[in-house]
Amino acid sequence: MVNIEKVIAIDGPSGSGKSTIARSLAKKLNLLYVDTGAMYRALGLVGSKRGLDLQNEEEMEQFISKVELVYEGQTGSLVLIDGENLTHEIRQHHVSELASKISKDPHVRNYLLEIQRKLAQDRIIVMEGRDIGTVVFPKAFCKIFLTAGPEIRAKRRFDELKAKGEKDISLQKILQDVIERDHRDQTRALAPLKPAEDAIILDTSEMNLEQVLDDLKDIVEEASEKKTVELC
Ligand code: DC
- Give strand ranges (E) for the chain: 5-11, 32-35, 69-71, 79-81, 84-85, 125-129, 140-147, 200-203
Q: Is there an atom of ligand 1 within 6 Å of 34 CB?
A: no
For residue 1, what pLDDT is reported? 46
Burial of 198: CB neighbours in 10 Å, binned 0-12, 13-18, 19+: exposed
Domain locations along the chain: 7-226
* CA distances for 23 relative to 15, 72, 77, 81, angstroms: 14, 14, 14, 22
Fold that domain 7-226 belongs to in CATH = Rossmann fold (3.40.50)
Neighbours of 23 (CB within 10 A): 16
For residue 82, what pLDDT is reported? 98
For residue 202, what pLDDT is reported? 95
User: How far, in Å, CA of 124 to CA of 231, rounded?
Assistant: 7
CA of 21 to the centre of ligand 1 (A): 16
CA of 129 to the centre of ligand 1 (A): 6
In order along the chain (232 residues), what is the average pLDDT of each group of 10 residues?
Answer: 85 89 93 97 98 97 98 94 98 92 96 98 95 97 96 93 88 94 90 94 93 94 93 78
CA of 36 to the centre of ligand 1 (A): 7
Q: Is there an atom of ligand 1 within 6 Å of 134 CB?
A: no
pTM here?
A: 0.93
Q: Which atom of ligand 1 is nearest to the CA of 41?
A: 6
